[in-house]
Amino acid sequence: MNRRFIWLLLAAAACLLPFRAPAPFVYTPGEGWNYEPVGGVGKWTRTRAKDQLAVAQEAFDKKDYALAQKAAARVTRMWPLSDYAPQAQYILGRCYEIRGWDERAFKSYQTLVEKYPKSVNYQEVLRRQYEIAGRFLNGEWFRVYNYIPLFPSMERTAGLYEQIVKNGPYSEIAPLAQMKIGAAREKQSNFPDAVKAYELAADRYNDRPAIAADAIFRQALAYQKEATTAEYDQNTAAQAVATFTDFMTLYPDDPRVPQAQKIIGRLHAEQARGNYEIAKYYERNEKWNGALVYYNEVLLRDPTSPFASVARERIDAIKRRLQTASK
């Protein structure tokens, strides 16, 4: 009898012998992996939704969040249509949040919003989603499988705020969430989308003066930031000036009016610089009429700018050149 045959006999015998293998880690759909000490399975399970929720609530009150999570998840899985499911879904989200699983908590709260919109915790859940999104806005990293840090993402953060607004467009938290979409886009340096977010906030919540004023002011600031990257296209700077002007007209008593006036002054100087650069481009290419148009724009935009005196000199020089050429 060779050695290989002996090993096969031993393996077969082992398979036939009765044995108990402790399985402390159990995977349950909807709950994930959980630790179950030997003999522990069944100690926390109940046959009625009401009793199972009581287990979850008691464990949560005692800060045994692992048990509370398992018991609450079982309620939502076994009795999703019962009167006890909304509270169980809420406890589940709270457990995830307390344990630092913010993405999972947000999704759990989202399930409550979508499946149980009449839940007594509805408004609080929106607020908790807002707080979770705020942590990501402040730099918290998104994670893989709740454990492995991946990266911060303003794109995904903006998506969280968009979901909050969608959940309750006219809730108390929605205007703040809409403003945060703009803030997340600004952190991306995505100023056009930031402008859109603030513009929507100003339009949708125009009956809330504090929100509307802040939205218009931040919209103008986003235009200004975008304008600083423009060399020849000054349309964005003009939009910033127009939006700041609207802000000052609509909210003349706002304490930010002096700041808006100073920014408008800087934007006019920026517009003058841009027109000056365009005029130089036309002059270098001997497009004299085009150069005159843009040198004159320098004077119109900001007659006191450092470019204005040079523009006047160039206008006079080009006119003399044209007069000489016409003789």
How confident is the model over 57-108, as pLDDT tens digits? 999 999 999 999 999 999 999 999 999 999 999 999 999 999 999 999 999 9
Q: How far is CA 254 from CA 6, 110, 206, 215, 251, in A?
A: 91, 37, 15, 13, 5
CA dihedral defined by 162, 163, 167, 168, rounded to 10 degrees? -20
Both structure tokens of 104: 């999972």
Per-residue pLDDT band for 230 (boundaries 50, 70, 90) equals low
Q: What is the pLDDT of residue 39?
A: 43
Candidate ranges 147-156, 211-220, 310-319; pick with highest mean pLDDT: 211-220
Q: Is the pLDDT of residue 237 over 60?
A: yes
pLDDT reading at 8 higher than 60? no
Q: How far apart are CA 45 and CA 259, in angstroms?
A: 62
Residue 42, Ramachandran bin (φ over 0: left; ψ between -120 and 50: alpha; else beta): left
Token look-up 């307390």 returns 98
Residue that wins the pLDDT comparison between 153 and 24:
153
Give per-residue pLDDT as tens, 110-152. Answer: 999 999 988 888 999 999 999 999 999 999 998 877 667 778 8
Q: Residues 254-268: what's their mean pLDDT?
A: 92
Mean pLDDT of 279-299: 87
- What is the DSSP annotation of 204-236? HTTTSHHHHHHHHHHHHHHHHHHHTT-SS--HH
Global pTM? 0.77
